[in-house]
With several copies, the nearest count.
Chain A
């Protein structure tokens, strides 16, 4: 059962003009959080933004000893801009953890999985990396962005997974391979590597490409989807994606983590 709590802002860590990490008290949400969960944050009590905004719980960690939730945020509009500016101590209404997390219970020491992030899609993969590493699962990260600045929290990923298991791709070649992140993955698959599951988060074109790759390679997947959300807990029916069975599935309740086979990509 998700909880609604007023959690105080602990700190904000700015990466560049449009990316930052927001740390808030973990409250009772922290202990309930599994990789892939998200939360709905109310950015101020004004009318702009009006609705809460959805963010992956990027990590459950501590800030100066205080249990904390970390959100990694990209500024794209009024809500993400407002959240960047709350002073330490400001109470933020947070509803979470929400949604269906990444399936990981079946993984053990002998398993290898792939994590693919596009841009801000890194967010849900941070906690996933931490948890998989703790379990001894071998996880390889393929992380793409427009340029080096777009690729966040490398130190964390490399600490959790080992630097040799982290591969990067950028549009301008400023970090890692110049090109698409899917090319990194494709290269491994072509070399005969297999993965028990592919976890991914990023923009729709990335998901589309990965779905194609997964179909060809017969890979099991779990995609952390995004969509515009009003409620985050399954009542507004605003956040849906077309499902293979003809229905529309709620991203907030049936997702956000769904196998690519659940989705009708022709209608996305």
Chain B
């Protein structure tokens, strides 16, 4: 049996639902030799800004139970170097490229979009409005549906490319943020970015991360991410979603699809095992084959839930 792995997220068609998450896959090219870049569903590159950004002073990362904290601070080569030097190479490899972008202000987002223009080598734009690791840098948009709506509206006008908005799990009401983004023109939502965490170096009584807090990623956040995907899917069943958060195995991929994500992004797992994304593509096909699934798209949002019972009390 040959399994149809193709998925469609609104205007974005992917050869399979396994993408890699921004900030965990560099500009893709670093994984040559480990992963067939053209065989992945998509590659979301490290968050790009209008000028090269130095990021935060170290220490920037630390390990925590079942995951890590990071406060990279959005270090990146800048949109121009990306378009001039990396995109052509990625394109030559047949990679489906998602340009993850950010800015400190609406204008900065728009400026990045204008530089990209309608470059057909970019399959989609992903607005990072949810990086918890910079003093400015988008987080304000992620935590305030009004600011988010304004930003997405301006970006929607500034690009014709498929527009993905990546949501923050830190805002309390992920559905409100999702609605604001979609009502303002987002084609696709990505969820989730990292959760704000703290780890302490006890001997020094200092945070392990120079920025004090860092974003929690890895298996630790998977149940939260799955819940948010399910919640947004239930509230907005027609909005295509990228699900992510602690994906490591093909079972994890399938859990996200079943919860309502049309495709997934693999993040922190790339650090532990640089081969993981490529392997997941193969394993997904094999799983579907074994389970008699012809089209992986048929699995999306198939979670069966029951009405929630109210608790009952003993008779008085």
Contacts and interface: CB of A to CB of B under 8 A. Distances in A.
Answer yes or no: A and B touching, Cβ < 8 Å.
Answer: yes
Interface string A211-250: 0000000000000000111110111111111100011100
B270 A248 contact: no
A4 B279 CA distance: 14
A2 B34 CA distance: 9
Interface stretch (B5-13, B62-70, B223-231): B62-70
Given A52-B271, A239-B60, A242-B58, 14 more contacts: A4-B274, A42-B272, A42-B273, A95-B274, A233-B30, A234-B26, A235-B26, A236-B23, A236-B271, A237-B55, A239-B58, A246-B314, A248-B55, A248-B58
Given A235-B271, A246-B312, A247-B314, A48 B65 contact: yes
Contact of A50 (B24, B59, B66, B314): B66
Q: Name which of A227, A237, A242 has the most chain B CB atoms within 10 A of its CB.
A: A237
Interface of A: 1-2, 4, 42, 47-52, 93, 95, 227-231, 233-242, 246-248, 267
Interface in B1-44: 23-26, 30-31, 33-34
A240 B58 contact: yes
B287 interface: no
Given A233-B30, A235-B30, A237-B72, A51 B58 contact: no
B103 interface: no
A236 B30 contact: no
A99 to B, nearest CB: 13
Contacts, number: 94
7 contacts: A50-B272, A52-B271, A228-B63, A235-B26, A246-B314, A247-B314, A248-B55
Interface residues of B, number: 36
A233 B272 CA distance: 11
A182 to B, nearest CB: 24
A242 B59 CA distance: 11
Given A49-B63, A241-B58, A236 B34 contact: no
* A4, A48, A233, A242 pick with most chain B CB within 10 angstroms: A233
Contacts of A242: 57-58
Nearest to A242: B57
A237 B23 CA distance: 8
Given A51-B68, A230-B70, A236 B24 contact: yes
B33 A237 contact: no
B63, B66, B219, most chain A CB atoms within 10 A: B63
B312 A93 contact: no
Contacts of B219: 47, 50
B75 A4 contact: no
B268 to A, nearest CB: 8
Q: Which 3 A-B pairs have the closest CB atoms?
A: A238-B61, A235-B26, A231-B271
Contact of B70 (A2, A238, A241): A238
B137 interface: no
A51 B272 contact: yes
A233 B274 contact: yes
A95 B34 CA distance: 11
A235 B65 CA distance: 21
Contacts of A234: 26, 30
B33 to A, nearest CB: 5
Contacts of A49: 63
B54 interface: yes
A144 to B, nearest CB: 22
B259 to A, nearest CB: 20
